[in-house]
Amino acid sequence: MATSMTTDEPPSSSSSNRPRTGEKNWLEKILGAFSQEPKSRDELLEIIKDAAENKVVDAEALSIIEGALDVSSQQVREIMIPRSQMVVVSIEDHPKEFLPKIIESGHSRFPVVGESIDDIRGILLAKDLLPLMLKDLDEFRLEDIIRPANIIPESKRLNILLREFRENRYHMAVVIDEYGGVSGVVTIEDILEEIVGEIEDETDEEEADSFIRKVNDNDFVVKALTPIEEFNEYFECEFSDEEFDTIGGLIMQSFGHLPGRDEKTQMGNFLFRVLYADNRQIHLLRVSRERHRAHGDD
């Protein structure tokens, strides 16, 4: 007489769908984050970085998330184009006077000023000048085509300004200091670049092929792939290229580990800040040159 046999073997689905140990660790953290809010920004970033290490999000997505979190704590004064670098148009200028300036700069928007740079009259959009081709320039008046200027304080947070840019559909704001004087300008592109990295268009063609881009007299954006020889020639310095070929390799050695966004290291008279890095290498650096010693001083 045949007898039935039973087994204690669990259903195959329960074993095949069981998460691996590594997956379980970050899944538990994710679930924990939803069951109770992270207590700090660092805790939230740790969860997201764990997800990136487990390939749930890629390095680019991680960089964008970090950038978005940074924007929420930054103020306009940290990223604005300073007063000394503003390209402005005088309300009294004739098109023959300001058109060469506009063409040379390649910008799309320009503050229009009166008696001084602190006398902001409006914003000129380059596209609004196109109808000039069909009109008599002798009858042209700049005040007829300028748009209202949006004035904001240096202390405004970037995430709030980004929302205002989107809601009010404007792309440039004039920044003033506590005394009401103009301290710079900021654009929606400036904020987006803090989140996603440098944005280049067809007008940036010359800079796209360059390893080093000057921001101001003391600050530069440098690609990590810049040959050390080229870096030395540009900055008139003497970093060794015996062990590494690129400035990124030299910076990695200085850190002693793969740095993340905004980590800083000092080498000689230069302060290097990481603008963009993934889980494999550094891509972009902000370089500030100290000027407390003149070149060639002992």
Which candidate, 127, 202, 140, places its Cα nearest to that of 171? 127
Number of CB atoms found within 10 A of residue 63's CB:
22
Residue 29 Cα to chain centre, angstroms:
29
Joined tokens for residue 59: 């390095």
Read off the pLDDT of each residue in 167-181 and give the average, rounded to a whole number. Answer: 93
- Residue 148's pLDDT is what? 94
Tokens 């500030």 belong to which residue? 288
**Tens digits of residue pLDDT in 198-231:** 665 544 544 444 788 887 778 888 888 999 999 9
pLDDT at 29 over 80: no
**Tens digits of residue pLDDT in 196-205:** 776 655 445 4
- Select from 3.10.580.10, 3.40.630.30, 3.40.50.12500, 3.10.450.40 the CATH code of 77-195: 3.10.580.10
The domains of the chain are located at 77-195, 200-289
Number of CB atoms found within 10 A of residue 210's CB:
15
Bridge partner list, 175: 152, 184
User: Are 154 and 166 within 8 A, CB to CB?
Assistant: no
Cite the beta strand spans of 135-245 per DSSP E: 151-153, 172-176, 182-187, 212-214, 219-223
- At residue 132 the predicted structure's pLDDT band, cuts being 50, 70 and 90, is confident
* pTM for the predicted model, two decimal places: 0.54
Bridge partner list, 186: 173
Distances in whole angstroms, Cα of residue 175 to Cα of each of 81, 125, 161, 171, 268:
9, 18, 11, 13, 34
CATH number of 200-289: 3.30.465.10
